[in-house]
Amino acid sequence: MSKADFNFDRTQFMAVVDYTSQTGQASSARVTFNASNVTRIYFRKCKERKFMFFEYDSEQIEIKATGCGFPVIFYKSKNEKEWEMYKEQLRKFAAEHRITIEEE
């Protein structure tokens, strides 16, 4: 997944996500996470590719929730301007709702 726009509420948060499907078609989706459904939030270091050959160090946010068969992943390169704000808001949300955060 690529660019995200987070909107936080008292008991849930929503992300409008722009992504490219496996068929190459660009699209967007609104994903809503209720506090009771989010099981873990990971802040991880990762490698991203720029073009085909250049690989560089980056970060990702991975959100795991019940009812969602796969984790939702956001990459720093696509959200660079708002990245620290997103991390801080997710930390605050997780602390209020006792959601486990793991940083690697």
Q: pLDDT tens for residues 60-74?
A: 999 998 887 778 888
Structure confidence at residue 1 (pLDDT): 46
Kindly tell me the number of DSSP H helices and DSSP E strands found in the chain.
1, 7
Q: Which runs of consecutive H residues, i.e. helices, occur in the chain?
A: 83-97
91 three-class SS: helix
pTM above 0.85, yes or no: no
pLDDT at 3 over 70: no
Q: pLDDT tens for residues 21-58?
A: 667 677 777 888 899 999 999 999 988 877 777 888 98
pLDDT at 84 over 60: yes
Question: Looking at residues 71-96, what average pLDDT do you find?
Answer: 88
| AA letter at 26 | A
Structure confidence at residue 39 (pLDDT): 93
Structure confidence at residue 13 (pLDDT): 87
**φ/ψ (deg, to 5) at 55:** -115, 135
Question: Looking at residues 18-22, what average pLDDT do you find?
Answer: 66
97 three-class SS: helix
- Measured distance CA(104)–CA(1) in Å, rounded: 20
